[in-house]
């Protein structure tokens, strides 16, 4: 078409020349239209640059060309080229920012609007440039304060120079390129902003989720603290163990929304079982032996089998363990409380009203409530022991007052007898003086009077000396050797009693022996020994020397209190020490 145009130029016919000019303008307009359509369908800057370069080179018949896009903020650049050897293209990439500084020395535009492309012809190109020396035409432009660009075209394939119409078409095509790149970069920025907004929305949603979880955790902790406070407020005024047990069970069931539950406390030493339940049709009852067997089964099912004092452990398979307590009702959660080795408790809860099992936080709350309950239960137990001790002391004081009253009465009797003795003595003395000598009858009368006075005084004295030793009137107490006594002591089936005076007991005694002196038996028995004994407990008594049989005296007094299992340690503490069994200073 360019050759036709040249022929038309040389032709003298004006009409033909006008037609040629019109065809050329139509071609340029069609090129602009096609380029606009092609570039408007693209959103990737590199593809826009590549499509623009191909269409521009084809329209103007250029042999080679390039497009550069500069990002002045990030210092990144994109190069698209056609017809340029690889070595020259590599040289251009290495000197991209030198090219930018060479052609963009003017002040950058202020504002987001794009600037019109600026044409640089071959004659206006600098003498030295990193661009190939065969560049014939170039346009540069600014899209905004961040992006700039450059288009360079080499010589035409026909060897003809660029004309004014070619430069005009190149500028118009540059406007299309700038518009397409501005639209693409704007779309890209929008996509980046959308991506950033999406990430921020995701982050906000995660933050909201974390805040919601934190709020739920805080509400749960507040609920737990409130439940612990309510339990403490409910149990603080109570000092009775039965009331404590019932209030604890009701509070726990209300906290977790449970309709069935039970709680029991077993005092193994006292052989006493306390139990309360809510929900079953009948109130369960359990003997001490049944409670012992149940506790052993629970120990096998416990998560922590150590019997450390004041500990709480969860039980596995609670439904199988407590079928006899809550028949026909599933026990979903059960815990075992160890106050000490002789004082343990079990708590079982049925399903919740919602049907959901207790969560980990709920089980932690149950453990905390159980730990608080153990403290209150231990305090109640101590208070009951103090009450029992006060009762025993009151009874002992009553007996002491009675003894003092008896001694006072005996003292009055002794004074009367002493007056009678003095009167009798004076009578005898007068009679002796009157007679002047003493006969055998007189001595017999005096001896008979002395015996009568002695028997009367002994009978009137509460602590009088018996006429015959008690050992002659009571059958001897059965003996037990040291090995059997030690075996019963280790099994918890025997209590060893040291009958010697306290000053001898403090020097050396059998380990864990209870000191019950014979002279203080009534008082010490009630204070120390009574609460340790059951009808099945064997009492082993020791303590004698050459002249004193303290063990027999204490053994007789124990037998008098209906304790049948009383034994005297054969050969006393000497046999115990020969066996190597423990003693204490």
Tens of pLDDT along 71-81?
Answer: 988 888 999 99
What CATH number was assigned to the domain covering residues 472-584?
3.40.250.10
Question: Among residues 494, 502, 485, 496, which one has the least CA distance to residue 542?
Answer: 496
- Highest mean pLDDT out of 20-29, 122-131, 151-160: 151-160
Confidence of residue 469 (pLDDT cuts 50, 70, 90): low
| pTM greater than the 0.75 cutoff | no
Among the residue ranges 30-34, 157-161, 302-306, 364-368, the one predicted with the least confidence is: 302-306
Share of the chain above pLDDT 70, in %: 87
The 10 Å CB-count burial string (b at 16+, else e) for 409-442 is ebeeeeeebeeeeeebeeeeeeeeeeeeeeeeee
What is the C-alpha to C-alpha distance for residues 515 and 499, in angstroms, rounded to an integer? Answer: 6
Q: Is the pLDDT of residue 151 over 90?
A: yes
Q: Where in the chain is the domain with CATH 3.40.250.10?
A: 472-584
For position 334, what pLDDT does the model report?
87
Structure-model confidence comparison of residues 425 and 282, the more confident one: 425
Helix (H) or strand (E) holding 339: strand 333-340
- Highest mean pLDDT out of 302-306, 431-435, 573-577: 573-577
Q: Which residues contact 258 (CB under 8 A, 6 or more apart)?
A: 252, 349, 350, 351, 352, 353
Q: Is the pLDDT of residue 303 over 50?
A: yes
Confidence of residue 110 (pLDDT cuts 50, 70, 90): very low
What is the C-alpha to C-alpha distance for residues 130 and 135, in angstroms, rounded to an integer? Answer: 11
Q: Is the pLDDT of residue 310 over 80?
A: yes
For position 67, what pLDDT does the model report?
93
Confidence of residue 422 (pLDDT cuts 50, 70, 90): confident
Q: Is the pLDDT of residue 264 over 70?
A: yes
DSSP E strand boundaries for 202-283: 261-267, 272-278
What is the C-alpha to C-alpha distance for residues 443 and 455, in angstroms, rounded to an integer? Answer: 18
Task: Read off the pLDDT of each residue in 222-230 and give the average, rounded to a whole number.
Answer: 83
For position 432, what pLDDT does the model report?
61
Task: Read off the pLDDT of each residue in 247-270 and give the average, rounded to a whole number.
Answer: 87
Among the residue ranges 79-88, 241-250, 347-356, 469-478, the one predicted with the least confidence is: 469-478
Confidence of residue 321 (pLDDT cuts 50, 70, 90): low
pLDDT tens profile 178-190: 888 888 888 888 8
For position 296, what pLDDT does the model report?
81
Confidence of residue 551 (pLDDT cuts 50, 70, 90): confident
Helix/strand/coil (H/E/C) assignment for every residue in 92-142: HHHCHHHHHHHHCCCCCCCCCCCCCCEEEEHHHCCCCCCCCCCCCEEEEEE
Task: Read off the pLDDT of each residue in 231-250 and give the average, rounded to a whole number.
Answer: 86
Q: Is the pLDDT of residue 5 over 50?
A: no
Long-range pairs, 55-60, Cβ under 8 A, ≥24: 55/31, 55/173, 56/151, 56/153, 56/170, 56/173, 57/82, 57/83, 57/153, 59/27, 59/28, 59/31, 59/35, 59/169, 59/173, 60/153, 60/156, 60/162, 60/166, 60/169, 60/170
Confidence of residue 108 (pLDDT cuts 50, 70, 90): very low
Task: Read off the pLDDT of each residue in 305-314 and give the average, rounded to a whole number.
Answer: 82
Beta pairing class for 343-349 and 479-480: unpaired
Confidence of residue 540 (pLDDT cuts 50, 70, 90): very high
For position 459, what pLDDT does the model report?
63
Structure-model confidence comparison of residues 95 and 329, the more confident one: 95
What is the C-alpha to C-alpha distance for residues 351 and 358, in angstroms, rounded to an integer? Answer: 9
Task: Read off the pLDDT of each residue in 526-550 and give the average, rounded to a whole number.
Answer: 82
Q: Is the pLDDT of residue 390 over 50?
A: yes
Share of the chain above pLDDT 90, in %: 8
Structure-model confidence comparison of residues 486 and 388, the more confident one: 486
For position 496, what pLDDT does the model report?
92
Task: Read off the pLDDT of each residue in 141-154 and give the average, rounded to a whole number.
Answer: 88
Q: Is the pLDDT of residue 527 over 90?
A: no
For position 520, what pLDDT does the model report?
81
What CATH number was assigned to the domain covering residues 2-191?
3.30.450.40
Task: Read off the pLDDT of each residue in 371-397 and give the average, rounded to a whole number.
Answer: 82
Mean pLDDT taken over the chain? 81
Q: Is the pLDDT of residue 65 over 90?
A: yes
- Highest mean pLDDT out of 117-131, 471-485, 565-579: 565-579
Task: Read off the pLDDT of each residue in 492-504 and give the average, rounded to a whole number.
Answer: 89
Topology (CATH level 3) of domain 233-375: Beta-Lactamase (3.30.450)
Q: Where in the chain is the domain with CATH 3.30.450.40?
A: 2-191, 233-375
What is the C-alpha to C-alpha distance for residues 172 and 117, in angstroms, rounded to an integer? Answer: 9
Confidence of residue 439 (pLDDT cuts 50, 70, 90): low
Structure tokens given for 521: 């038996």
Confidence of residue 506 (pLDDT cuts 50, 70, 90): confident
For position 109, what pLDDT does the model report?
46
At 173, phi and psi to the nearest 5?
A: -60, -35
Confidence of residue 9 (pLDDT cuts 50, 70, 90): very low
Task: Read off the pLDDT of each residue in 291-315 and give the average, rounded to a whole number.
Answer: 82
């Amino acid at each position: 078409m360019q050759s036709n145009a040249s022929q038309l130029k040389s032709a003298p016919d004006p009409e033909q020349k006008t037609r040629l000019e019109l065809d050329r303008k139509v071609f340029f307009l069609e090129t602009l239209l096609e380029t606009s359509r092609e570039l408007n369908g693209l959103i990737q800057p590199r593809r826009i640059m590549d499509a623009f370069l191909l269409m521009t080179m084809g329209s103007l018949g250029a042999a080679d060309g390039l497009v550069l896009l500069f990002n002045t903020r990030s210092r990144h650049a994109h190069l698209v080229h056609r017809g340029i050897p690889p070595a020259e293209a590599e040289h251009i990439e290495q000197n991209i920012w030198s090219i930018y500084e060479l052609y963009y020395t003017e002040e950058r535009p202020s504002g987001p609007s794009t600037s019109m492309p600026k044409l640089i012809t071959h004659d206006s190109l600098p003498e030295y440039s990193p661009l190939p020396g065969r560049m014939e035409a170039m346009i540069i432009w600014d899209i905004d304060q961040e992006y700039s660009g450059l288009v360079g075209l080499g010589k035409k394939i026909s060897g003809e120079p660029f004309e004014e119409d070619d430069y005009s078409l190149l500028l118009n095509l540059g406007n299309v390129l700038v518009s397409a790149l501005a639209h693409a970069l704007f779309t890209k920025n929008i996509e980046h902003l959308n991506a950033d907004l999406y990430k921020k929305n995701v982050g906000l949603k995660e933050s909201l989720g974390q805040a919601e979880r934190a709020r739920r955790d805080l509400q749960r902790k507040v609920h737990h603290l409130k439940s612990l406070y309510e339990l403490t407020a409910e149990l603080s005024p109570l000092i009775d163990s039965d009331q404590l047990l019932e209030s604890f069970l009701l509070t726990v069931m209300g906290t977790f929304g449970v309709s069935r539950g039970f709680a029991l406390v077993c005092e193994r030493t006292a052989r006493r079982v306390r139990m309360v339940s809510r929900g079953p049709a009948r109130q369960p009852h359990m003997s001490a032996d049944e409670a012992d067997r149940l506790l052993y089964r629970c120990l096998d099912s416990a998560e922590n089998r150590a019997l450390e004092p004041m500990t709480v452990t969860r039980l596995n398979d609670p439904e199988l363990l407590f079928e006899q307590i809550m028949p026909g009702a599933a026990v979903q959660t059960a815990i075992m409380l160890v106050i000490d080795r002789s004082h343990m408790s079990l708590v079982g809860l049925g399903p919740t009203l919602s049907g959901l099992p207790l969560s980990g936080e709920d089980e932690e709350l149950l453990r905390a409530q159980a730990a608080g309950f153990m403290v209150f239960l231990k305090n109640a137990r101590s208070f009951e022991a103090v009450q029992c001790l006060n009762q025993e002391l009151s009874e002992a004081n009553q007996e002491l007052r009675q003894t003092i009253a008896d001694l006072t009465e005996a003292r009055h009797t002794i004074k009367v007898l002493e007056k009678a003795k003095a009167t009798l003595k004076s009578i005898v003395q007068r009679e002796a003086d009157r007679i002047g000598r003493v006969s055998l009858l007189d001595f017999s009368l005096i001896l008979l009077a002395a015996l009568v006075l002695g028997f009367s005084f002994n009978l009137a004295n509460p602590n009088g000396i018996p006429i015959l030793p008690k050992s002659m009137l009571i059958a001897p107490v059965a003996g037990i050797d040291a090995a059997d006594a030690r075996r019963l002591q280790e099994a918890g089936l025997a209590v060893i009693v040291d009958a010697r005076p306290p000053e001898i007991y403090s020097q050396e005694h059998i380990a864990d022996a209870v000191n019950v002196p014979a002279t203080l038996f009534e008082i010490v028995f009630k204070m120390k020994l009574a609460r340790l004994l059951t009808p099945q407990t064997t009492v082993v008594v020791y303590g004698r020397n050459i002249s004193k049989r303290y063990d027999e005296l204490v053994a007789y007094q124990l037998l008098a209190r209906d304790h049948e299992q009383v034994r005297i340690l054969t050969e006393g503490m000497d046999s115990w020490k020969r066996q190597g069994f423990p003693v204490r200073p």
